[in-house]
A and B are shown apart, each in its own frame.
Chain A
Amino acid sequence: MTLHRALPLALLLVPALAPLQPAQGPATAVPGPLFTDVTASAHIEFVHQSGASADKVMVETFGSGVAWLDADGDGFMDLYFVNGAPGAPNAFYRNNRNGTFTDVTTEAGVAAAGGRAYKTGVAVADYDGDGRPDLYVTAFGPNLLFHNNGDHTFTDVTAAAGVAGGADEWSTSSGFFDFDGDGDLDLFVANYVDYRLADNPYCGLRKEGYRMYCNPTPFDGTADRLFRNNGDGTFTDVSRQAGIANPAGKGLGVAFCDIDRDGDTDVYVANDLVRNFLYRNNGDGTFTDIAYAAGVGFDSNGKPQAGMGVDCADLDGNGFPDIFVTNFADELNALYINRGDGTFDDASAMPGLKSGYPALGFGIKLFDADNDGDLDIYVTNGHVIDNIQLYRPGFSHAQRDLLYENTGGKFRDITDLAGAALRTPRIGRGLAVADFDNDGDLDVVMSSLGERPVLLRNDTTPRRNWLEIKAEGRSKNTAGLGATVRLRTAAGVQTREINNVASYLSASDVRLHFGLADAPAAARIEITWPRGATQVLTDIPANQLLIVREP
């Protein structure tokens, strides 16, 4: 039974923490999103180290993730960068609330520089329900779980929690969600291939400078892992019994969505050169891979693609999440439109998306870049073969990002119009979005292989109205991960999920962001919490951060 309750006591309306920009009224000319590279002025000095070597060790080229989290609970998103090479420290930047950041890695204790693992991705969630977001770092080697102590420090609790995964596993994207509905957050970890440093094949011409990174075809896949939260700070590996341990997988990207809108969270895994998986949550602690039935495993010719990153969200406004997967060069990125009946239409060949064909996509986020009320697509690109120009003249290692504006369910490449920063080639890998300056629009951070990351501030004008929602769950799922929010304005209904898991190796702002275009208020907001309660709010003024507590 669905609960419809008016719960004013459970609702706090909080003004945005930064000065609000008033809505500008109906725009006559719409220049679209504009992003400015503020990496330097924000004092982000981290430089990624890939560990690139003449041996072309595969993991060197897959890069690392980046995460947004409000570690100290001050309402501003802090930044965590994963480094690649063994021994190279990760970096943690505290948000100074003035557009700059301070490197606090050492005092926070999250450098993760020990050991010989190549670090890869990062997930963020409050796994123990103490109200503070924790960090999970994946690696080619043992993964790490850092518990947030609440005093600006973290403690490595991997061993006690039992979430290291296999000592030789190559883990990639990961994320927390309550798969079994018991109120605490479980952990899904995608694994890539069975790769051994000592058994690194030679690929490419045996000519000086021509050795290239191998593709995954010669290597076996490895099963992903699902760790069930025991509720006491420990986890149990339930991968096989849950039905997600397909050993054929070569997972790189993971996204969570309630694909069938049945109230629980489903999992999509983007695999590299084998078909992708769509695990439907059966609601009983198990999953069924419905990729064949749903039509989201292959391209339109029935061939597997080289899936890298993935996000899922409602792009066409029908209330059901669609799926966007970034793929290899000479492949279209995949767009699967959810028909709402368990099947999807492959819309990858939509004319507006064809510019993705020559690019090799990694990080991807579906978000409302211009606050016009629909979700746009941001993709960061970069080839995996660092000497690709020797083999494919005209191709390059560094590539430009792609930004597609949603125009009523169709898309338009507006990269060239969105600022000089988007025209700068980079070796894009991780990507995450957050409103780091709390000004009501979503900013972008990207990791770049072997380079400084890029922080893009959203400077879109004219400014449109917006609303952000921070959910506070009553269970150990303190961020309300998995809640579905339907926001109605005169323009229609937007459906989103509270969920920071998507893209490639990365984690985004857990606060939910809506663009409201010209609407001065949300007429109705309906929140369906993971444990089933539904909360309805009406006439919520725009341009504020709304903190909503689970009833």
Chain B
Amino acid sequence: MCHRSPTLKTSSLAVLLFCGSGLLAGSTATAAQTPPAAAAADSLDARIARVQAALAAGSGRPADAIRELTAILAIDPKRADAHLLLGMAYRMTGSAEMNGEARAELVQALDLDPDLVPARFLLAQLYLDLGRPAGARDTLTAGLAQHPGQPQMATLLAEAERQLGHPERAMELARQALQADPSLLQARYYLALALVDAGRRDDAIRELEAVAAAGGNPADTNLALGNAYLDAGRLEAATAALGKAVAADPARADSHLALARAYRLRRLPDRARAQLALAKPAVPAIGIAHNPLEAEFYMELGLLDLQQGRLTTAAGAFQRVLEIDPGNEAAARHLEEARRRLRAGSRPPGGGRR
């Protein structure tokens, strides 16, 4: 049975592409319809179909798919469907360093078969993950020219437009997608994000609650919902939602960071610090844009230290934020506060050193 996710993280890509979404036109879809058992001869079509089925079912390891697909491409390097699946398999490794190769494979797939809509869709998703919404917009616009009104591409385009700073356009696109397919949770999720950006927090919460209730991707949905609750000052609801987000994907630093923030605001410093320990960002690779989470991590650490009266370490954390982001006015303000309290030898009201 097909299950639609509100977001397009790697694990859901296969589901999305292989579950009658309308994106199945093209050679990949044709191959998908070939039952592996029917492929008696070990033809390339049969081998591709087996890989495709495994990826769609979530069975087997991406590494196995990569090995098989590269073997297939060694025989016929012009198989667009194999390039598409290879790009997908690289994505499913979850390795950021393979994103470049994933994109390369998708680009090759499209170059060989410009009508291969799933490749265009995955490529747009990659652009979004790489922080290049303009690339996603261009790719999706081209896809929509081929398949006007296709709701999932319209949905992703909504997110691209939101990231480009056009929440109204994003809402319009998401609503168009929902009109075409009201069950599209992902469109509702992106609509909610656009509502947040447009300053309509309460409307956004309603949409996110609906997505969460429908069983949409709990990691993304609950993170967004938890953040919205935090913004609304609904700390207990935020803690609950963020707890679900963390449980759904314990590897995500942004969820731990948000949960730490919720605990700090509820004055539960030990729990906050435990979450922060799980949120520490990895050392960024050389030559990339800096991970914005790193500044957020140090800001949260500083605020927690400040709350607990650890003024020296708080000042150090705020300084670290300013090293990463010299224009961060909040960090500068908090740093000044920490220094002022250090000078005054003050203790935090209601707090104390452990």
Interface residues of A, Cβ cutoff 8 Å to B: 201-208, 210, 212-218, 220-221, 245-249, 273-275, 288-293, 302-304, 384-385, 388, 391-392
In the complex, the answer to whether A217 meets B130 with C-beta atoms within 8 Å is: yes
Do B70 and A248 touch (CB < 8 A)? no
Q: Chain B residues with Cβ under 8 A from A288's Cβ?
A: 77
CB pair B326–A304 under 8 Å, yes or no, is no
Please give, as numbers and ranges, the residues of chain A lying within 8 Å of B77 by CB-CB distance: 288-293
Cβ-based interface call for B66 (8 A): yes
Bound form: Cα–Cα A149–B157 in Å: 55
Question: Is B52 engaged at the interface, CB distance under 8 Å to the other chain?
Answer: no
Contact A214 B74 (CB under 8 A): no
- A249–B103 alpha-carbon span in the complex (Å): 11
B67, B70, B100, B104: residue with the most chain A Cβ atoms closer than 10 Å: B100
B104 to nearest A CB, angstroms? 4
Query: Does B101 have its Cβ within 8 Å of any Cβ on chain A?
Result: yes
In the bound complex, residues from chain A placing their C-beta under 8 Å from that of B285 are 215
Give 1 or 0 for each of B71-93: 1 = CB within 8 Å of chain A CB.
10111010000000000000000
Main secondary structure of the interface of B (DSSP, over half): helix
Contact: A212 with B286, CB < 8 Å? yes
- CB-defined contacts of B287 to chain A, threshold 8 Å: 203-204, 212-215, 384-385
Q: A218-B132, A247-B111 are in contact. Are A204 and B103 (CB under 8 A)?
A: no
Q: Known pairs A218-B132, A275-B104, A391-B286; list 19 more (Cβ under 8 Å).
A: A201-B289, A202-B289, A203-B288, A203-B290, A204-B290, A206-B324, A206-B327, A214-B289, A215-B285, A215-B286, A216-B100, A220-B107, A248-B107, A292-B73, A293-B75, A293-B77, A302-B70, A303-B97, A388-B286
How far apart are the CA atoms of A201 and B132 in the complex, in Å?
Answer: 10
- For A220, the chain B residues whose CB sits under 8 A away are 103, 107, 135
Measured in the bound complex, the distance between the Cα atoms of B324 and A218 in whole Å is: 20
Rank and list the top 4 A-B pairs by shortest CB-CB distance, nearest first.
A215-B287, A293-B74, A248-B104, A292-B74
Q: B331 CB to closest chain A CB, in angstroms?
A: 12
Let me know if B125 is at the binding interface, CB within 8 A: no
Residues of B within 8 A of A290 (CB): 74, 77
Q: Contacts A217-B130, A247-B108, A288-B77; is A207 near B323 (CB within 8 Å)?
A: yes
Q: Enumerate chain B residues within 8 angstroms of A203, measured Cβ to Cβ.
A: 287-290
B135 contacts A217, CB within 8 Å? no
Q: Is B203 part of the binding interface, using a Cβ–Cβ cutoff of 8 Å?
A: no
Q: How far is the CA of A391 from the CA of B284 in the complex (A)?
A: 10
Contacts of A273 in B (CB 8 A): 100
Q: Are B290 and A385 in contact (CB under 8 A)?
A: no
- Selected A-B contacts with CB under 8 Å, 28 pairs: A203-B287, A203-B288, A203-B289, A204-B287, A204-B290, A206-B325, A207-B323, A207-B326, A217-B130, A217-B288, A220-B135, A221-B107, A245-B111, A246-B108, A246-B111, A274-B100, A274-B103, A274-B104, A275-B101, A290-B74, A292-B71, A302-B67, A303-B97, A303-B98, A304-B100, A385-B286, A385-B287, A392-B286
- Asked whether any CB of chain A lies closer than 8 Å to the CB of B165, the reply is no
Measured in the bound complex, the distance between the Cα atoms of B322 and A205 in whole Å is: 10
Interface status of B99 (Cβ within 8 A of chain A)? yes
In the complex, which residues of chain B have a beta carbon less than 8 angstroms from the beta carbon of A213? 287
Question: Smallest CB-CB separation from A342: which chain B residue?
Answer: B74
Residues on B with beta carbons closer than 8 Å to the beta carbon of A206: 290, 323-327
Separation of A290 and B77 alpha carbons in the complex (Å): 7
**Complex Cα gap A207–B130 (Å):** 22
Per-residue CB proximity of B38-76 to A under 8 Å, as 1/0? 000000000000000000000000000011001101110
Asked if B131 is at the interface (CB within 8 A of a chain A CB), the reply is: yes
